[in-house]
């Protein structure tokens, strides 16, 4: 089954404790992206990747890092999480920049 | 600037009736894709329908159709024969080459289907 898998789905953590949200897709997509969704602000892009070893900042990259060492994986790293990073996070992938973006199920992160 | 506008924060529709969710977009790019996604209360983002900027016919997917009016820059979603399971947030979105593939979302419309 074609899918984008994110883990963990739910996480409560404390300020400053490094965490990684993993994302993996099995569709051989070149394009991958991370979004966060906040009430009243909608969905905003954090980082994206056009291909392996090619990443770039989206609209709200501060406080996040990403890497793309393999085509299928695109982890999101929060080096020192803060409460303003409490949000619903989505990983997504597509075969090219115009086509349908396939979303993971979302990861709900709470930073205390 | 790339922008998606959804002017209806919330809508109600009677079960089995049709409903139209409005979406207008703004871009200077000639090539772009327009999308509608559904987000139920469980949170996942479900792709519904896609319209390419060069597609001459309106897209249809089952009970969903996209009313694409390029000159007006509108891409309204029509849901026919509404079902209780259609109650959700609906997002209109756009991808362009100029946005480097970023899917630009509208604020969404919350649809409630009444039995």
> A27-73 pLDDT, tens per residue?
999 999 999 999 888 899 999 999 999 999 999 999 999 999 999 99
Q: What is the pLDDT of residue B20?
A: 98
Q: In which band, very low, low, confident or very high, does the pLDDT at A98 lie, cut at 50, 70 and 90?
A: confident
Cβ–Cβ below 8 Å for B102 and A31:
no
Among A8, A5, A35, A34, which Cα is nearest to A21's? A8
Our CA dihedral for B27, A100, A20, A67, rounded to 10 degrees, sits at -70
When CB atoms are compared, the residue of A88, A97, A105 closest to B101 is: A97
Cβ–Cβ below 8 Å for B101 and A88:
no
Q: How far is B107 from chain A (nearest CA, A)?
A: 6
When CB atoms are compared, the residue of A31, A42, A103 closest to B101 is: A31
Average per-residue pLDDT for chain A:
95
Give residue for tokens 């969905």.
A43
Chain B residue numbers with beta carbons less than 8 Å from the beta carbon of A98 are 31-33, 52, 95-97, 101
Q: Is the pLDDT of residue B2 over 90?
A: no
């Amino acid at each position: 089954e074609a899918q984008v898998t994110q883990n963990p789905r739910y996480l409560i953590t404390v300020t400053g404790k490094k965490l990684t949200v993993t994302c993996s897709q099995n569709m051989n997509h070149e394009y991958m992206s991370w979004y966060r969704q906040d009430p009243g602000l909608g969905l905003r892009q954090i980082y994206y990747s056009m291909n392996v070893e090619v990443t770039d900042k989206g609209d709200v990259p501060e406080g996040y890092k990403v890497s793309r060492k393999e085509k299928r994986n695109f982890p999101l790293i929060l080096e020192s999480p803060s409460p303003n990073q409490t949000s619903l996070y989505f990983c997504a992938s597509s075969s090219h920049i115009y086509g349908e973006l396939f979303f993971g199920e979302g990861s709900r992160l709470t930073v205390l | 600037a790339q922008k998606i506008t959804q002017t209806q924060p919330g809508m109600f529709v009677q079960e089995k009736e049709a409903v139209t969710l409005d979406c207008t977009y703004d871009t200077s790019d000639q090539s772009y894709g327009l999308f509608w996604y559904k987000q139920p209360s469980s949170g996942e983002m479900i792709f519904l329908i896609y319209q390419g900027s060069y597609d001459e016919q309106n897209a249809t997917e089952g009970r969903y159709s996209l009313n694409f009016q390029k000159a007006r820059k509108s891409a309204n979603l029509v849901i026919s024969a509404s079902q209780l399971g259609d109650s959700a947030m609906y997002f209109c979105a756009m991808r362009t080459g100029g946005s480097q593939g970023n899917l630009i979302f509208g604020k969404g419309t919350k649809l409630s289907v009444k039995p």
